[in-house]
Amino acid sequence: MCRGHHRLGSGQEGGVIRQELPHWLDRGDLRPLILAVVHTHKKNKGAVRILLRARNRV
């Protein structure tokens, strides 16, 4: 779990993690490890859950 804090590094564009997460999820070496990505809460647009595949199924 990685939590950001609104007062640290968040601006109009969001923090570093929010900016970089789409790039990390799109990496070819990581894509096979990811089963699903879900934005779980309407009011907290920064909340993202990433479901990883089991090791024996990669």
DSSP secondary structure string, 34-55?
Answer: EEEEEE--SS-TT-EEEEEPPG
Would residue 4 count as lying in a domain?
Answer: no
How many independent structural domains does the chain possess? 1
14 or 31, higher pLDDT = 31
Q: Report yes or no on whether pTM surpasses 0.75.
A: no
Helix (H) or strand (E) holding 20: helix 16-25
Would residue 1 count as lying in a domain?
Answer: no
Does residue 56 carry a pLDDT above 70?
yes
Does residue 7 carry a pLDDT above 60?
no
Closest CA to 4 of 37, 46, 44, 39: 46
Domain of residue 20 covers 16-57
Distances in whole angstroms, Cα of residue 6 to Cα of each of 3, 17, 30, 42, 44: 10, 12, 28, 17, 12
What integer pLDDT is reported at residue 40 of this predicted model? 72
Does residue 47 carry a pLDDT above 60?
yes
DSSP label at residue 6:
T
Would residue 27 count as lying in a domain?
Answer: yes
